[in-house]
A and B are shown apart, each in its own frame.
Chain A
Amino acid sequence: MQTLTGAQILVRTLIDQGVDIIFGYPGGTVIDIYDALYDVADRLWHVETTHEQHAAHAADGYARATGKTGVVLATSGPGATNLVTGIATAYLDSVPMVAITGNVAGSVIGTDAFQELDITGVTLPITKHNYFVRDIARLQDTVREAFALANSGRPGPVLVDIAKDVQEASYAYEPKEPIAPRPHRVPSHEVIEAAAAVINEAKRPFVYFGGGVIASGAGAEVAALADRIGAPMGCSLMGISGVPTDHPRFLGMQGMHGHYACSMAMDDSDCVIALGTRFNDRATGDRTKFRPSGKVVRIDIDSSELNKTLIDRVDVRSDVRVALSELLPLLKPNEHSEWAREIRGLRAREQGFADYRDGLCPKTIMEAIDAHREADMPLVTDVGQHQMWAAQYLSFSKPRTFISSGGLGTMGFGMGAAIGAALATGEHTILVTGDGCFAMDMAELVTAADHDIPLTVVLLNNGVLGMVRQWQSLFYGQRHSNTTLKRRIDYVAAAKAFGARARRIESVEELDAALDDAIGYDGPMLIECPIDKDEFVTPMLPTGGTMGDMVVNMDDINKRLGR
């Protein structure tokens, strides 16, 4: 038994939890914690970003790439509010994160003291739970509880706010084991049998999975399910990389910008087996018209997701892997050759829609990245058109290698998340971003350069906020209000000024050479790829539309625009 300060107890407890890297930014009410970090720098690496938001995204990227809980540290007041977007991003995508903030001393709490802020109040709707530690006797166990909560059940962010006097006070410390996660509950036999009965009756089954499959580590079981019952597979944006994209039964992503064959097959199916996915509005289109006839078997760890959207269903509240291991033996092996023929037809149709173009365009850029990227390299995106192109065209063979802000759709997520993913995995990491997003997070090239983080940034520069422009073109009479960026940023010069390498390319051949350079370099390199401002993401399902309203390719768009 030792007597330590609260700040020392905190950093020791983080180490006890297995934390090796934390991301953060110093400030007045965490100065004691930074002082304690000084002594443990060999065991707990603190990576300082240029802004707290990106530190939160880095902790998020770390967690998404590994499944381990990401940790971020910030000071009170503005430091804490700068975390908010990062915490919300993690919350919407169920990413395990512990955010630690300092707060003013107990003696001045409630007086609007300098940099005092009620951050537990602010983060109430965007955390699984949060704590305000006012009593040093509760500090160690609160931190342990926070970690247990963040990475149990459906993962998510937990915030621990620590008053400055608690950090300064002294208390007994003894190392304690992390709180063991509660074992997953096994669904009842009746529920599994009911699910099996529905699936066994299906003539056109479809396996649809989301981020829950990655969190659960159930990719192999999902593929086994599809193989056993002769079903095609599709996923949500969050499900990408859950099952290898080259699996013969995998049709790709479903939803607003999903693959044609995948969206249509799901719409056509008489039984969707939905695994760890929440049927977000971007996946369903108009919910009232979404799949009116078929049945749905849902497996989700979170009971509150089960009744949220669809009516005709069998619900299995469970971890996906646990449920599938119970369910698989009860399923009749099947071929569904008629259904398979229909799927082949859809795929052939999809091929017919494809826009084939030579030269530098989103598709050829993604193909070049695919050709250079190794299976273990995390591929991170920002948010917008480039994100959808990455989701549509890139291939993945290992889970947790596609990292993207889905639920919140956070522009400016990419650089922080890529830094976190690179440091977590030790792998060269590729960020695909656009000029809108990159202007929000490019300052983090500084962090990447300072720490020689192996990072390739592929910047698709179209000089516009492409996704909003696309909507303006299609649905707002081509009134491109505030989406044409008349910026004079020299991205190559800016990246170099931040300490990174950089190159602008004009052709696929130059891109190939630049990717060779970048991936061979143990530090950050920016590759700026100019693309046309009127590249559209297709297919596209207009908001509130049904699968029949799908815009399939550029010809289709040009027809609609009368050009």
Chain B
Amino acid sequence: MNIYSIAIMVRNEYGVLNRVTNMFRRRQFNITSLTVSETETEELSRITVQFEGENDRAREQLVAQLAKLPDVIEFKEFNPDESISCELLLIKMANDNEQRRQMLDAADAFHAKIVDYTRESIIFRIAGTSNRIENFIDLMRDFEILEVCRTGIISLERGAQVMRKVTTL
């Protein structure tokens, strides 16, 4: 299985996400990461999808099917070398007196930010590549993880190129 990553610019209307993800379901692709949000223009949403595919032909087929959806305005396949990708993690840890110091040291080493602190729990926030985030979660397994939430991957192409000039909408 190969991992592929694409960004899809879609009309910002109800049901559009369903149309896009339905295409992955129909062609039996497993989505490993999905993020959706409005863009700088209200009319457009940006969907970033990472998915597993058998081979490049399967991926080509999926992309060709996606391109046919009337709600899809533009899409971009990402080459890891020519794009910036990151995701955000919120992780809630048990605030244990005996292990607190070690836990805070580990968090510090990863530049994790404490965004919530109570007697019973601490929430750390950390941004970075999926790899970095996985490493941090792995480190936290030495302590008591209460809850984990990741945003999924967002990506932009390096340089001045853009997926779609807003003025042409």
A304 beta carbon closer than 8 Å to chain B? yes
Determine if A302 and B68 form an interchain contact, defined as CB atoms under 8 angstroms apart: yes
Q: A307-B57, A307-B64 are in contact. Are A125 and B69 (CB under 8 A)?
A: no
B54-81 interface code vs A (CB 8 A; 1 in, 0 out): 0001001100110111110000000000
Within the complex, what minimum Cβ distance (angstroms) separates A140 from chain B?
18
The interface residues of chain A lying within 8 Å CB-to-CB of B64 are 303-304, 306-307
| Distance (whole angstroms) from the CB of A157 to the closest CB of chain B | 13
Q: Does B26 contact A (CB under 8 A)?
A: yes
| A129 CA to B26 CA, complexed, in Å | 15
Q: Is there a chain B Cβ closer than 8 Å to A395's Cβ?
A: no
Q: Are B61 and A129 in contact (CB under 8 A)?
A: no
Contact A304 B68, beta carbon cutoff 8 Å: yes
Q: For residue A128, which residues in chain B have a CB less than 8 angstroms away from its CB?
A: 68, 70
- Check if A124 is an interface residue, CB within 8 A of chain B: yes
Q: Find out whether the CB atom of A125 lies under 8 angstroms from the CB atom of B61.
A: no
Q: Mark A381-414, 1 if CB is under 8 A from B, else 0.
A: 0000000000000000000000000000000000
B61 in contact with A308 (CB, 8 Å) = yes
Assembly CA distance A303 to B61 (angstroms): 9
Residue contact B15 to A120, C-beta cutoff 8 Å: yes
Known: A120-B15, A307-B57. A149 touches B26 (CB 8 A): no
A562 contacts chain B at the CB level, 8 A cutoff: no
Nearest A residue to B57, CB-CB: A307
A121 sits at the interface (CB 8 A)? yes
Is A125 in contact with B57, judged by CB distance below 8 angstroms? no
Contact A121:B68 (CB < 8 A) given known A307-B57, A307-B60, A308-B61: no
User: Given A120-B15, A124-B18, A124-B22, A303 and B69 touching (CB < 8 A)?
Assistant: no
Contacts of B57 in A (CB 8 A): 307
Instruction: List which A104-160 residues lie within 8 A (CB) of chain B.
Output: 120-121, 124-125, 128-129, 132, 149
- Complex CA–CA separation, A304 to B22 (angstroms): 16
CB within 8 Å of B: which of A297-316?
Answer: 302-304, 306-308
Chain A residues in 8 Å Cβ range of B26: 125
1/0 per residue, CB under 8 A from A, across B1-33: the answer is 000000000000001001100100010000000
B18, A121: Cβ atoms closer than 8 Å? yes
A-side contacts of B22, CB under 8 Å: 124-125
Residues of A within 8 A of B68 (CB): 128, 302, 304
Give Cα A121 to B19, complex, Å: 9
Number of A-B contacts (CB under 8 A): 28
Q: How large is the interface on A (under 10, 10 to 19, 20 to 34, 35 or more residues)?
A: 10 to 19
- Interchain CA distance A214-B68 in the complex, whole Å: 21
* CB <8 Å contact, B70 and A149: yes
* Complex interface residues of chain A between 355 and 392 (CB less than 8 A to chain B): none
* Cβ-closest chain B residue relative to A118: B15
Report the nearest B residue to A308, measured CB to CB: B61
CA distance A306 to B61 in the complex (A): 9
* Contact in complex: B19, A124 (CB < 8 Å): yes
Contact with B along A159-196 (1 / 0, CB 8 A): 00000000000000000000000000000000000000
Q: Which residue of B lies closest to A132 (CB)?
A: B15
Q: B133: shortest Cβ distance to chain A, in Å?
A: 33
Interface string of B81-118 (1 = CB under 8 A from A): 00000000000000000000000000000000000000
Is the Cβ of B15 less than 8 Å from the Cβ of A304?
Answer: no
CA distance A303 to B19 in the complex (A): 19
- Cβ–Cβ contact B70 & A129, under 8 A: yes
Docked Cα-Cα span, A307 to B60, in Å, equals: 7
Residue of B nearest to A121 (CB): B18
The docked-state distance in angstroms from the alpha carbon of A35 to that of B64 is 43
Q: Is the CB of B18 within 8 A of A304?
A: no
A304 touches B70 (CB 8 A): no
Task: Verify A304–B65 contact, CB threshold 8 A.
Answer: yes
**Complex CA–CA separation, A308 to B62 (angstroms):** 10
Give residues 206-255 of A contacting B (CB, 8 Å): none
Contact A307 B61 (CB under 8 A): yes
Q: Cα distance A85–B61 when bound, in Å?
A: 25
Measured in the bound complex, the distance between the Cα atoms of B26 and A53 in whole Å is: 24
Residues of A within 8 A of B65 (CB): 304
B67→A303 contact, CB < 8 A: yes
Tell me, in angstroms, the Cα distance from A460 to B15 when the chains sit together: 46
- For the complex formed, measure the closest distance between the CB of A155 and the CB atoms of chain B, giving whole angstroms: 13
Lowest 10 CB-CB distances: which A-B pairs, in order?
A: A304-B64, A129-B70, A304-B65, A303-B64, A307-B60, A124-B22, A307-B61, A125-B26, A307-B57, A304-B68
- Give 18 A-B contacts (CB < 8 Å), ordered by A residue: A120-B15, A121-B18, A124-B19, A125-B22, A128-B68, A129-B69, A129-B71, A132-B15, A303-B64, A303-B67, A304-B64, A304-B65, A304-B67, A304-B68, A307-B57, A307-B60, A307-B61, A307-B64
Beyond A128-B68, A306-B64, 20 additional pairs, beta carbon < 8 A: A120-B15, A121-B18, A124-B18, A124-B19, A124-B22, A125-B22, A128-B70, A129-B69, A129-B71, A132-B15, A302-B68, A303-B64, A303-B67, A304-B61, A304-B64, A307-B57, A307-B60, A307-B61, A307-B64, A308-B61
